[in-house]
Amino acid sequence: MESLAAKVEPFIEAVRRGEVEIYNEFSLQHELGIFLRGVMPGWKIQFERNVGHFFSDRSSFTKREIDIVGFSDSDHELGFAFELKYPRNGQHPEQMYSFCKDIAFLEELVDAGFRRAAFLVFAEDHRYYRGSADGIYGHFRNSRPLHGIINKPTGSQGGHVEVRGTYTVEWVPVAVDFRYALVELNNGS
């Protein structure tokens, strides 16, 4: 299977050209899922699939629902999983922490048997990709590698997530003040 970045590049180009309109996380999830169904015949593309459908021990996962999943019933292949974000209501450090949590969840899915996984985020608010590089912001605004223990930046103390791999978040322009970033993971196959 080719990389998920290569697989979704035509989708991103369609968004860039205005052929596909996304305006919140729900529209992103459905438009991307429809696109994937069109370019991946023979694969089941499903939304908000519970990890319990694929794995009997759900307790080892950070989250319970996978935003988009692609799998093959015929040979029981767990092809790919996507976690998606399209933040619309500020809460920048909290949303960035949520990005980290999604990436840690995808690492768990790859470790459990998915061949590939990707975190895809679209943002119209420049504060996700420009500004101070202090704390959690540096992973998303300054290309500082995302790795290790990420502490919850606000709210209840003691919350954290561990990102075991090392990832660089690069924001790519779609339009003026509209960018996306894609972080891809695979199991080495």
First to last CA, the chain: 9
pLDDT for the residue numbered 27: 97
What domain range includes position 121?
4-186
**The model's pTM:** 0.94
User: For all residues of the chain together, what is the average pLDDT?
Assistant: 92
pLDDT tens, position by position, 139-174? 999 888 999 999 988 876 668 999 999 999 999 999
The answer to whether the CB of 104 falls within 8 A of the CB of 146 is: no
Round to whole Å and give the CA distance between 109 and 112: 5
Question: What domain count does the chain have?
Answer: 1
pLDDT for the residue numbered 188: 62
pLDDT tens, position by position, 83-121? 999 999 878 999 999 999 999 999 999 999 999 999 999
Is residue 189 predicted with pLDDT exceeding 50? no
Query: In the β-sheet with 178-186, what is the strand arrangement from edge to edge?
Result: 44-50, 65-72, 77-85, 116-123, 178-186, 172-175
pLDDT for the residue numbered 57: 87
